[in-house]
Structure 1
């Protein structure tokens, strides 16, 4: 099972209090499956669009999985969508339909947003679980609020808790602050390192997609230096940078010192939540505190050049140094929230048994492989590693 092997969720925080959402009148939505190119163009305008829901990303990341970009319509108007990934089970015993970071709302601020989300879930159940007899697996993104309403709604509808991330927390920065309020929001030690970086002779650059080769050189040198196995989706970068929808193309940023590039970042900027995708540094970056300088300027660029409200820094994979760095940047104005467990639903007991069993086997395999990898690469052990702030995301 490969579809969501790299990012399945974990509970264990206040976001998973036993709170059930209030009942809403659920509209009956129409559905339409479109081509991948049309899908990417349409969802560029969604509030909840994200990298994992892009056809250009998913088709590259999981080439053996069938992609079904499904739009949801209310009285002929597009109100949401979900890129469904349909994967066969081992021995072709059945199929699992996966929605990762979906379903997405086009307008998350509309008064009936909760009802629209519930309607999208009902449409997925009707098609994939009831009609096709597949297990449906839905993984909502981390919420900004303490209670993840989308996840709680799935549980209330009969979905069962499934696979979990080992380190679920996402570190999310508030983008809607002026410079003074932003600096004040950082933890004191983070602000201290930022001040030091600003005296180190660093310069910040926003670069066009034609300079992606410079980032790749920096990234390759970093992975070679750190000697870690890269489990990330970095192999999708070429497809993302070549996407023909400018709003969905990641933005590229660099930090330079004495004419040399010392740090870089790729950031997804569409929708209401920008996301830090990948970072790269050289040997000089850490003593220069280039990661602090880089993210300070990225935050300000996103605030001034996009409509995003939040900046998701991703997780930590258990690296304590990275936790401290991101926690300090989130500061007083941002939030730290977990990705919830995946939620599984099947109308037929056999479909659920086969799907849940396949996920359990997959999770055990990947846990074993990552444990072997960690112990064969001591630099990658979370309890020992000194992870640089602008390091690669998994």
Structure 2
């Protein structure tokens, strides 16, 4: 399939007609090229940045990427970008997927059956046939019950490590301006009103203006001393993607002075706040409130996204309060599930889980050392209680 397929053609391909019975569904798995993968998944309802080949290739250069597309009657209905991580000494390998499997059409009458069939196919290929540990991190769900996590546990996956601060903050989109304002917490709404009296100007900027955001971000990082474990160095690669997958750039000005900016992933049904930056003048101007309010309106008017994912807090109480107020009464604060792991072979399971555990310990050590550095901003959000939702 050509990577130049139009967005109209892509939507038509991803909407198979007729119901698929859960007990008779037959998927065909195909490995596709990087270009075809990114072109096709750009029309998926649950597409996300971590599943884009161009992003993953730069973010995790040491892994082998395998783009698995799943078809029913030659129609792509889902997919998983698997990252193959070889263990030291070549003893085994781990097949890793983040925010996957993806579903092309979440409203398809057999979307759950498609998801379950993809999970079964991944187990058969990577665990049974190739002897790997399969490790999957599901999405946070906007529903009280996380169906993806439940499906994976039902398929024999065992619970792995969980994030220290797992909560994600999601704003409801597609609301009228009056509904949106009413949904904000009272304090957040009051700060927004004050920002609107400060002669601020919102702008949806073209990709060519990314350099200004980089300068703003660098200055903010130096000023606030936040430890940065993000994939910020992938931005250049993301901004040359097809417009469907390319992030959007937004700025707020006071007069001619740039005071705040944000980079937003907007494909699929869930837009994501990737990066934000402000200068020293932004706080008294309440520019962050002004920026996000207009981003929410833009997403509601210009995309099919139903939710605006603000990400987490990394343990900073101020971020929690700001994001909680924006989520308000119509949004949700919901945890990312733990990683889940599956292997057919006990040795592959032990080696893979051991390697993942060692990597997680190194990540936690790095964060502990950063907290010991008094020149870096320190997390101050209380640790959440032990999670009882995910067993």
How many Å separate the matches in 1 of 2:23 and 2:234?
40
- Number of the residue aligned with 2:240: 242
How many Å separate the matches in 2 of 1:230 and 1:248?
24
How many Å separate the matches in 1 of 2:226 and 2:181?
33
Q: For 1:283, which of 272, 280, 286 is the aligned residue?
A: 280
- Number of the residue aligned with 2:270: 273
Deviations 1:204-227 (A, max 9, x none): 000000000010010111111122
1:164, CA displacement in angstroms? Answer: 1.0
- Number of the residue aligned with 1:82: 80
Secondary structure at the aligned position of 2:244 is classed as: helix
- Number of the residue aligned with 1:45: 43
- Number of the residue aligned with 1:148: 146
1:384, CA displacement in angstroms? Answer: 8.4
Alignment of 1:254-273 (within 5 A): 254-273=251-270
How many Å separate the matches in 2 of 1:373 and 1:118?
40
- Number of the residue aligned with 1:376: 373
The gaps in structure 2 that reach 5 residues or longer are 1-20, 383-391
Residues 58 and 139 of structure 1: CA distance in aligned 2, closer, same or farther (over 3 Å) = same
The gaps in structure 1 that reach 5 residues or longer are 1-22, 386-394
1:86, CA displacement in angstroms? Answer: 0.5
Secondary structure at the aligned position of 1:69 is classed as: strand
Q: For 1:353, which of 341, 350, 354 is the aligned residue?
A: 350
Q: For 1:305, which of 282, 302, 305 is the aligned residue?
A: 302
Q: Is the 8 A contact 1:274 1:311 kept in 2?
A: yes
Q: Does 2:105 correspond to 1:107?
A: yes
| Higher relative contact order structure (alpha carbons within 8 Å, sequence separation ≥ 6) | 1
Residues 384 and 175 of structure 1: CA distance in aligned 2, closer, same or farther (over 3 Å) = closer
Q: Is the 8 A contact 1:228 1:377 kept in 2?
A: no
* Paired residue total: 362
Alignment of 1:206-221 (within 5 A): 206-221=204-219
How many Å separate the matches in 1 of 2:42 and 2:169?
24
- Number of the residue aligned with 1:127: 125
1:97, CA displacement in angstroms? Answer: 0.3
1:24, CA displacement in angstroms? Answer: 5.0
Q: Is the 8 A contact 2:165 2:312 kept in 1?
A: yes
How many Å separate the matches in 1 of 2:374 and 2:143?
37
Q: Is the 8 A contact 1:227 1:377 kept in 2?
A: no
- Number of the residue aligned with 1:342: 339
How many Å separate the matches in 1 of 2:243 and 2:190?
36
Deviations 1:225-247 (A, max 9, x none): 1223311010110100011x111
1:28, CA displacement in angstroms? Answer: 2.9
1:89, CA displacement in angstroms? Answer: 1.1
How many Å separate the matches in 2 of 1:46 and 1:175?
18
How many Å separate the matches in 2 of 1:228 and 1:255?
22
Deviations 1:12-65 (A, max 9, x none): xxxxxxxxxxx9536231100111111000001100001000001100100111
Q: For 2:193, which of 192, 195, 199 is the aligned residue?
A: 195
1:91, CA displacement in angstroms? Answer: 2.3
- TM-score norm. by structure 2 comes to 0.91
Deviations 1:155-177 (A, max 9, x none): 11110001211000110001110
- Number of the residue aligned with 1:17: none
What's the C-alpha RMSD, in Å, of the aligned pairs? 1.4
How many Å separate the matches in 2 of 1:260 and 1:292?
17
